[in-house]
Amino acid sequence: MNSDWASEDDLMNDVPLTGQRIDLDGGSVAWWPCHIGRNAIVGTNCSIGALAHIGQRVTLGPDCKIQGAAYIADECTLGARVFIGPAAVILNDKFPPSGDRTKWQPVSVGDDAVVGGNATVIPGNDVGERAVLAAGAVLTKPLPAGEVWGGNPAVFLMTRDDYDAKRGTHHDR
């Protein structure tokens, strides 16, 4: 065996069996194992869950919460205080694998938006500020600011103000 290579036993001794906290700059934290791609920008006070995949050149604004097993494709942008639920998927390539970045359609998610657990955002469909995509929904067209959509394909359900009232929270905006 090549002595430049670590043995499987050596590797396993350093691998934690449960998630470990990884402290990032600016008070942000990630939970091992997760992937943060090259040239990704993680804002202050963000949280990235275990098994999450943050692609290359992704930008996370401050105070974003990315739950476990979420997938955010290369070059997508999240504004401030965005919540991405567990196993949510934000894609960038409508006809994969294109292999040509010029054909990608990265998604932008506005400030204070929510993408629910197991929801999917199809490439090129931005999520507006304060918008909510319900759990399990598939977004096939842009989601306007201040609206809540759900279903497959996702359709309008209510306003964000109505959603916040049902949650018992209300924000004056």
The total number of structural domains in the chain stands at 1
Whether 105 maps to a domain, the answer reads yes
Whether 40 maps to a domain, the answer reads yes
pLDDT at 99 (0 to 100):
80
pLDDT at 172 (0 to 100):
56
Whether 87 maps to a domain, the answer reads yes
The model's confidence at residue 18, banded by pLDDT at 50, 70 and 90, is: low
Whether 1 maps to a domain, the answer reads no
State the residue range of the domain holding 110: 18-167
Find the largest Cα–Cα distance for the chain.
Answer: 65
Query: What pTM value is reported for the model?
Result: 0.87
Whether 116 maps to a domain, the answer reads yes
The CATH number of residue 53's host domain is: 2.160.10.10
